[in-house]
A and B are shown apart, each in its own frame.
Chain A
Amino acid sequence: MDIQKRYGVRTLILEIIVVIVGLIFLIPFYFLLVNSVKSFADILSNSAGLPQAYLWSNYAKAWTAIDFPTALKNSLIVTIVSNLLLVLISSMAAYQMVRQPSLFNRILFFVFVAAMVIPFQSIMLPLMEMASKYRLNNSMYGLIVSYLGFGAPLSVFLFHGFVKTVPLEIEQAARVDGSSRYGVFFRIVCPLMQPMFVTVIILNTLWIWNDYLLPSLILSSPELRTIPIATYSFFGQYTKQWDMALPALVLGITPIIIFFLFMQRYIIEGITSGSVKG
C-alpha cells in the first residue's frame, strides 16, 4: 500500500517535469507561428506576445515569393521517384546477394556496406565534375540518379538483413510449382518484405526530402528548386525580413510535419528497425 502511494507521487512529479520539458521543446514552434502573422514592426517590438493584428497576407506574399507550388511539386517528384526506384533496385540486389552468395556477390555486398561510411563531401567534387560532363546537372534525372547511387548502400544493407529471415521453403515450393525466379521474387518475396519496404522508404524519405547540399549542387534553374533550395535562396534575398521569411519557413515545414502526424507509427517503427540492424 505504502509503495503504491509513493509510486504514484513520484510518477506525478515525473509527469510534471516531462510536460514542462515538452513545452520548452515546443517554444521554437510558438515563436515561429506567432511571428509569422505579424507586421515587421510588430515582430521587432513584440516578438514574444500575440500579434496586434493577424496579417495572413504574409503567407500569400511568401507563397508567391518562393513559388511554393513549384517547390512542393519538385520535392514530391524527387522524393517519390527516388524512393520507388531505390526500393526496387536495392531489394532485388539484396535478394540476389543472399540467395546466390557467390564470391563475387559476397565481395560486392562487402563493398556496399563499407561504402556506408563514405561522407558525401568525399565524393561531392568529382561527382559535380562528372555530372557536368555527362549532362546530369541541372536536371531531375541527374538528381534522382544521384540519390539511387548514394542511397543504395544503406538500402541494400537493410534488405540484405531482412531477406535472410525469409524462409527458403516457401520459395522452393513456388519454384516446384513452375514459377520463374522473377515470379518468385515479385509475387512471394516482395509481399513478405513489406515491413522492410516501409522502413527503407521512411528512412530515405526523411533524408531526401530534407537534403540541401546535393540538390543545391545539381539543380541551378529556379523552376527545378526543391523546398530546401527555394528556402535558402529566398533567405539570401530577404535577409532579416522576418515577416516574409517566417511564413516561408512555416510553409516549408508543413508538408513533412503533416506526413509525420499521419505516418507517426510507421516512422517510429521504421527508425527502430532500421537502426537496430545498423
Chain B
Amino acid sequence: MVGKKASQWIQQIVFVGPATLFFALIVIIPFILGLYYSFTDWNGISKTINWVGFSNYTHIVTKDPDFRNAFWFTVRFTVVGIIITNVIGFALAYILTKPLFTRNLMRTIFFMPNMIGGLLLGFIWQFIFIKGFAAVGEATGLSLFNLPWLGDRATSFWGIVIVFVWQTAGYLMVIYISSLNNVPKDVLESAEIDGATRWQVVRHIIFPLIMPAITICLFLAISWAFKMFDLNLALTNGGPFKATESVALDIYNEAFTNNRLGLGTAKAVIFFVIVALITSVQVRLTKSREVEL
C-alpha cells in the first residue's frame, strides 16, 4: 500500500508534470538561454561562443538603423492599426446589435477573414493590390486605386494596415457584440427619454459600461499588431527597401539571413521587454477606467 504522502506526490506529478515539462522545455529553457546568448557573439556555426557583455545591445541602440526603422514602422503601424480596427470593430458591433434582417449573415461575413492565417491572406491581398486595385481603378477612374499599391513606402504601409483591419475587425466585433448585449436596455431607454443624443449615449453610457471589452480589444489588437510577422512576410516581405519591415521580421532576418544569432537574440530580448511593458501598462490604464453597475 502506498502511503498518503507518496500518493499525493504521485498525483502532483501525474497532473502537473506533463504540462510543466513541455512548458519548461519549449518556453522557459529557450527563454533563459536566449538571455544568455544575447550577451555573446553566437553565430550558430562556430563551436566557441564568446561573452561580449552589452556590446550587442549597444550595437542595436547606436549602430543599427534597420532595427530603429523596424521599430518605428512597428510603432506607427500598431498605433494606426489598433485605432482603425477598434473603431470599425465597434461600429460594426454597434450596428449589428440593432434588429436588422441581415444581422447574422453580416456577422458571419465580417468574421470570416479572421479564419484565414496571415500568410495566405498576405498572398491573396498581394493579388488584390497588384491586379484587383488596378482593375477597379480602370473601371471607376478613381485615382486612389491607380496608386502603385505595395510599390512605395506610403502605399505599402497603408496596404498592410488595410489587410490587418480587414482581418481583425470582425474578431473585435464579436467581443464588442457580446459586451453590448450586456448593457441594460432600461439604462439606454431612460437616457433617451432624458433627451440624450445618440453620441452622448455612446460616449457617456455605453463606453464606460463596455470598458472591460475595450480593454480586451485594445490588448488583443496591440499584441497582434506589434507581433505581426506572417502577414508582413507574405504581403511585402518588408519591402520596398525595408520600408515596411516589422521588428519580428527584422529579428528573423538578422538571425537567418545575416546569421548573427547573438545579435538576433538581443533584439528578441528588447522585443520581449517592450511587448511586456506595453501590454501591462495598457491593461492597467483601461482597467482603472472600468465601471461596475
A contact set with B: CB distance below 8 Å: 11, 14-15, 17-19, 21-22, 25-28, 31-32, 35, 43-44, 46-48, 89-90, 92-93, 95-97, 100, 105, 108, 111-112, 115, 117-127, 129-130, 145-146, 148-150, 152-153, 156, 181-182, 185, 206, 209-213, 227-228, 231-232, 235, 242, 245-246, 249, 252-253, 256-257, 259-261, 264, 268, 271-272, 275-276, 278
The answer to whether A47 touches B29, judged by C-beta atoms less than 8 angstroms apart, is no
Mark out the residues of chain B between 269 and 293 whose CB falls within 8 Å of any chain A CB in the assembled complex.
269, 271-272, 275-276, 279-280
- Cα–Cα distance between A104 and B281 once the two chains are bound (Å): 28
The answer to whether A89 touches B124, judged by C-beta atoms less than 8 angstroms apart, is no
Whether a CB of chain A sits under 8 angstroms from the CB of B53 is no
Q: A28-B125, A149-B23, A272-B175 are in contact. Are A126 and B118 (CB under 8 A)?
A: no
Residues of chain B contacted by A252 (CB below 8 angstroms): 120
Whether a CB of chain A sits under 8 angstroms from the CB of B264 is yes
Residues of chain B contacted by A43 (CB below 8 angstroms): 131
- Interface segment out of the listed B56-64, B132-140, B199-207: B132-140
Residues of chain A contacted by B96 (CB below 8 angstroms): 18
Q: A125-B255, A271-B171 are in contact. Are A115 and B16 (CB under 8 A)?
A: no
Residues of chain B contacted by A18 (CB below 8 angstroms): 92, 95-96, 100, 102, 106
Main secondary structure of the interface of B (DSSP, over half): helix
Most central of A121, A148, A213 by chain B CB within 10 Å: A121
- Cα–Cα distance between A124 and B234 once the two chains are bound (Å): 19
CB 8 Å contact bits of B98-122 with A (1 = contact, 0 = none): 1111100111111111111111100
Q: How far is the CB of A192 from chain B (nearest CB, A)?
A: 17
The answer to whether B220 touches A275, judged by C-beta atoms less than 8 angstroms apart, is yes
Count chain B residues whose beta carbon lies closer than 8 angstroms to a beta carbon of A. 89
Most central of A25, A122, A264 by chain B CB within 10 Å: A122
A115's nearest neighbour on chain B, judged by CB, is B27
- Cα–Cα distance between A120 and B268 once the two chains are bound (Å): 9
Mark out the residues of chain B between 108 and 162 whose CB falls within 8 Å of any chain A CB in the assembled complex.
108-120, 123-125, 127-128, 131-132, 134-136, 138-139
Whether a CB of chain A sits under 8 angstroms from the CB of B28 is yes
Q: How far is the CB of A112 from chain B (nearest CB, A)?
A: 7
Q: A14-B98, A125-B261 are in contact. Are A92 and B16 (CB under 8 A)?
A: yes
The answer to whether A148 touches B166, judged by C-beta atoms less than 8 angstroms apart, is no
Q: A149-B26, A256-B115 are in contact. Are A96 and B11 (CB under 8 A)?
A: yes
